[in-house]
Amino acid sequence: MKILMVLTSHDKLGETGKKTGFWLEEFAAPYYVFKDAGADVTLASPRGGQPPLDPKSDDASAQTDATRRFKKDPSAQAALANTRKLDDVATEDFDAVFYPGGHGPLWDLAQDATSIALIESTLAAGKPFAAVCHAPGVLRHVKSADGGSLVKGKSVTGFTNTEEDAVGLTEVVPFLVENMLKQNGGLYSKAGDFQPYVVTDGFLITGQNPASSEPAAHAVLKMLG
């Protein structure tokens, strides 16, 4: 069982002068779900190397069992520091693909042609594709076989407008995940703010927020049987 995890390389939070990147829990929780199930996990990002960590996800208040485990795991830290370039990975080498969130993907992966092609080929091959929190934003320009938006008519979720408002970044992000999914024809649903919520439609798995990252990873494993 080979699983590819794709992380952002973008570290600038709009014009605020602050840093962003990937959200630690959304990487660590699925990573250990997959590793504990015996999966071979490959990490990739647009630029390769060390992806930027959203500093807020490293706050004491944001820590979970999975993030604490990561802090004590030199091999996981080394894997994260040496992600492969997205251009160097291929759908046929993996059984499933998982995108952790953080705000970073809204700027780079949502527009990245290699990422878009990877997602399209993964789903066309009948392989699970999962994205959590802000990572469903990477579906913005992904097309289905008929040339329409991939999410049109599909049940999806992602970081809510009210959650974005709660973290104070509604006016900073390049687009709102909830709005984009609805505008592209997605059948968007959500749970309460910051409550775990995962939606599966065919081979597409989306999670609403950081708390949804672990259950989304379990949904991938369930699909892989």
Closest C-alpha to 210, from 95, 61, 80, 85: 61
- Split at pLDDT 50, 70, 90, the class of 191 is very high
Number of domains in the chain: 1
Residue-level pLDDT at 156: 98
Average of per-residue pLDDT across 107-134 = 98
Contacts of 96 (CB under 8 A, 6+ apart): 1, 3, 4, 122, 127, 128, 129, 130, 220, 223, 224
- Measured distance CA(182)–CA(215) in Å, rounded: 23
Q: What is the pLDDT of residue 27?
A: 98
Please give the span between the terminal C-alpha atoms of the chain, in angstroms, as a whole number: 10
DSSP string, 12-76: B-TTSS-B--B-HHHHHHHHHHHHHTT-EEEEEESS-BPPPBPGGGGSGGG--HHHHHHHT-HHH
**pLDDT tens, 141-158?**
999 999 999 999 999 999
pLDDT at 114: 98
User: In the predicted model, what is the mean pLDDT of the chain?
Assistant: 97
d(CA 100, CA 222): 18
In which domain, by residue range, is 19 found?
A: 2-224
Separation of alpha carbons 43 and 79, rounded Å: 7
Q: What pLDDT is attached to residue 103? A: 98
Residue 106, pLDDT score: 98
Q: Which two tokens stand for residue 158?
A: 């992602």
Helix ranges (H only) for the chain are 24-36, 65-71, 74-81, 113-124, 161-166, 177-183, 213-224
Q: Please tell me the predicted confidence (pLDDT) of residue 153.
A: 98
pLDDT, tens only, 48-101: 999 999 999 999 999 999 999 999 999 999 999 999 999 999 999 999 999 999
Q: How far apart are CA 179 and CA 191, in angstroms?
A: 16
Q: Is-contact 212 133, C-beta < 8 A? A: yes
Provide the CATH number for the domain around residue 206: 3.40.50.880
74 Cβ neighbours under 8 A, 6+ residues apart: none
Question: Which phi and psi angles does 208 have, rounded to 5°?
Answer: -75, -35
Residue 155 confidence (pLDDT): 98
Give the model confidence (pLDDT) of 9-32 as tens digits.
Answer: 999 999 999 999 999 999 999 999
pLDDT tens digit sequence for 195-209? 999 999 999 999 999
pLDDT at 197: 98
